[in-house]
């Protein structure tokens, strides 16, 4: 199938294309130099914006945690449902939509690649079953490895190469894409009712500190040449004063930076940019964090923007979720995953009139607007923790329009308004910068070579939005912008039109990307290793790895390690 997309304003930052009017040619699912005009299907997109398909580096969309959230919250389904159509299945859910609906909703917004950031290795099979059922997008998942006993043991012994070989084994066994670390050491401590409060606390029983886990896995990541950096949810997340922990976390791997490449990704940074000693005097630490990131090149961030709505919080950070339960008194789930991790779920409503929630809303945007280089901070809500991913068009409007920000600031808690840095920030992002923070930057940080851009050979994943930059100023007409971003005029996945003006036109399966990490001496599955499985887990080795046939549209990416 050949396709020629004509006359659009193209925004392709990886190839330095900034709103040029040009044609894009597609053949066999890839961007090509040209096609035969007589054979190709032509779409005239005059007056519209053409971008690479959206990329989401961090959204909880699959796995036992997400599914437990669905079970916990029937009220989330009742109020938001989609009927079946000739091409799509029915589905439900405002903050935790069912799998198929998740895929459709991303496709409507022009997204084509999404990453599920929190996969307990023991529950990897469930995660992949749900990813199989999430259509329209390519996807991947990050196994939680920061509190896995094997990692703690090897790092505590200083056996970094051994640790790397086991992480390589785990990455391939779980069909994962990146090393996820949540509250390093804190989740293991939580299994005996404790937590970590600084990078130098001792993890019970293991003789190791969060600092050593972070540095060890950062070095492991480098030894294995993984495409993404370590993906870190910091210690003390969600606690006043934690911006200092976030700074410590970034600093602790500063000397491991190689050239100008990032070595650490701090996820949903809003939740770890709190200044102040308690909730009453909570303030924004966004400026301090942005200053640090502006001065260093080894860090990337994503926002974790808060949206004023009803949502469902879910993280592997069991102790944090317990605190949230204590704060809200809501129904909750807390869960310990054997030798690997923990997790928790609490329903949550962010209110404009709450001082704390309004400060949180402000912090996310402050971080994004004060960080000068859009290649360093990416748009997320940590879906569904800060709000559902369907709110992205709102955030884009706040990015591009001071007027949109003012309209919301007017409605928030008065004391929070007086403390917000937003009124003093007049920066408005351009469409080029939007293309970076919503796709190009995210694809680059993930090391996805064929995504996030429209160069020759790239995957033909595109989003076309019905907004004309020549005649419409998004900073003034931010509602028009929001509408255009909510329902893309076209979403093209692998060279096929899958969405037109919000209507799903075609079902695409989407691949699951995972890393096939090649090490020179792979971990041997000996009787001793099998015994460790029997001793440590309730699952025998034979039932543990996700075999290849488990993934319906499998896309292994081979990585050659230095060990």
Binding site for Zn ion (CB under 5 A): 382
Residues 6+ apart with CB under 8 A from 302: 57, 58, 265, 266, 267, 268, 269, 377, 378, 379, 380, 382, 442
CA–CA separation, 560 and 524 (whole Å): 18
Using only the alpha carbons of the chain, give its radius of gyration: 22
Task: Pick the closest to residue 73 from 349, 463, 257 (CA basis).
Answer: 349
Residues 6+ apart with CB under 8 A from 208: 152, 155, 156, 185, 202
Nearer to Zn ion, 302 or 461 (CB): 302
Min dist CB 390 to Zn ion, Å, is: 17
Beta bridge partners of 283: 275
Nearer to Zn ion, 55 or 397 (CB): 55
Task: Give the CB-nearest residue to Zn ion.
Answer: 382
Nearer to Zn ion, 303 or 515 (CB): 303
Within 13 Å, how many C-alpha atoms sit on residue 8's CB side?
28
Nearer to Zn ion, 138 or 382 (CB): 382
Kindly compute the dihedral angle of the four CA atoms of residues 17, 23, 28, 32, in this order, to the nearest 10 degrees.
-60
Min dist CB 178 to Zn ion, Å, is: 13
Nearer to Zn ion, 27 or 126 (CB): 126
Contact 427, 374 (CB under 8 A): no
* Terminal alpha carbon distance of the chain: 43
Nearer to Zn ion, 366 or 382 (CB): 382
Min dist CB 268 to Zn ion, Å, is: 5
Nearer to Zn ion, 76 or 382 (CB): 382
Min dist CB 118 to Zn ion, Å, is: 6
Min dist CB 321 to Zn ion, Å, is: 12
Chain centre to alpha carbon of residue 252: 22
CA–CA separation, 55 and 57 (whole Å): 6
Min dist CB 546 to Zn ion, Å, is: 21
DSSP state of 454: -
The stretches of 447-511 forming alpha helices (DSSP H) are 478-486
Beta bridge partners of 56: 114
Place of tokens 């994004």: 368
Min dist CB 380 to Zn ion, Å, is: 8
Nearer to Zn ion, 283 or 382 (CB): 382
Contact 115, 446 (CB under 8 A): yes
Min dist CB 58 to Zn ion, Å, is: 6
Nearer to Zn ion, 49 or 181 (CB): 181
Give the pair of three-digit tokens for residue 121.
């290795």
Q: Are strands 462-465 and 49-52 parallel, antiparallel or unpaired?
A: antiparallel
Nearer to Zn ion, 163 or 269 (CB): 269
Min dist CB 384 to Zn ion, Å, is: 9
Min dist CB 196 to Zn ion, Å, is: 18
């Amino acid at each position: 199938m050949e396709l020629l997309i004509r006359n659009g304003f193209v925004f392709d930052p990886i190839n330095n294309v900034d709103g040029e009017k040009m044609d894009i040619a597609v053949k066999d699912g890839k961007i090509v130099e040209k096609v035969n005009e007589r054979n190709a299907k032509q779409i005239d997109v005059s007056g519209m914006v053409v971008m690479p398909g959206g990329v989401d580096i961090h959204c909880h969309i699959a796995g036992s945690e997400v599914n437990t959230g669905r079970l916990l919250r029937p009220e989330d389904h009742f109020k938001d449902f989609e009927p079946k159509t000739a091409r799509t299945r029915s589905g439900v859910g405002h903050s935790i939509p069912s799998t198929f609906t998740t895929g459709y909703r991303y496709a409507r917004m022009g997204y084509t690649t999404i990453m599920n950031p929190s996969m307990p290795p023991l529950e990897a099979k469930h995660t992949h079953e749900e990813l199989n059922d999430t259509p329209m997008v390519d996807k991947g998942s990050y196994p939680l490895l920061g509190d896995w006993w094997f990692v703690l043991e090897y790092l505590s012994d200083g056996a970094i190469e051994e640790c790397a070989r086991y992480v390589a084994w785990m990455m391939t066994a779980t069909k994962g894409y990146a090393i996820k670390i949540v509250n390093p050491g804190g989740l293991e401590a939580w299994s005996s009712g404790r937590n970590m409060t600084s990078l130098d606390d001792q993890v019970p029983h293991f003789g190791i500190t969060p600092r050593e886990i972070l540095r060890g896995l950062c070095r492991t990541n480098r030894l294995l040449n993984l495409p993404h950096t370590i993906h870190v949810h910091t210690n003390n997340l969600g606690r006043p004063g934690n911006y200092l922990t976030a700074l410590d976390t970034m600093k602790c791997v500063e000397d491991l930076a190689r050239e100008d490449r990032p070595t650490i990704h701090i996820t949903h940074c809003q939740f770890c940019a709190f200044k102040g000693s308690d909730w009453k005097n909570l303030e924004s630490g966004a400026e301090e964090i942005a200053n640090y990131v502006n001065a260093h090149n080894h860090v990337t961030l994503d926002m974790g923007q808060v949206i004023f709505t009803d949502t469902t919080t879910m993280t592997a950070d069991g102790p944090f979720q317990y605190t949230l339960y204590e704060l809200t008194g809501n129904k909750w789930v807390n869960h310990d995953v054997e030798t690997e991790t923990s997790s928790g779920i609490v329903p949550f409503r962010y209110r404009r009139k709450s001082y704390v929630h309004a400060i949180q809303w402000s912090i996310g945007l402050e971080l994004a607007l004060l960080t000068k280089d859009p290649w360093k901070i990416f748009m997320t809500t940590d879906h569904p923790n800060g709000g559902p991913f369907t709110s992205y068009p709102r955030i884009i409007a706040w990015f591009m329009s001071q007027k949109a920000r003012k309209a919301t600031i007017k409605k928030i808690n008065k004391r929070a308004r007086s403390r917000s840095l937003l009124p003093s920030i007049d920066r408005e992002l351009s469409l080029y910068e939007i293309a970076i923070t919503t796709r190009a930057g995210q694809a680059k940080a993930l090391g996805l070579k064929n995504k996030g851009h429209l160069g020759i050979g790239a995957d033909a994943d595109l989003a076309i939005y019905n907004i004309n930059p020549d005649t419409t100023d998004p900073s003034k007409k931010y509602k028009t912008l929001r509408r255009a971003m909510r329902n893309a005029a076209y979403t093209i996945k692998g060279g096929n039109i899958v969405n037109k003006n919000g209507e799903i036109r075609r079902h695409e399966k989407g691949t699951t990307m995972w890393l096939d990490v090649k090490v020179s001496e792979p971990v041997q599955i000996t009787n001793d290793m099998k015994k460790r499985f029997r001793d440590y887990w309730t699952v025998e080795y034979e039932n543990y790895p996700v075999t290849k046939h488990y993934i319906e549209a499998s896309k292994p990416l081979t990585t050659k390690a230095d060990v």
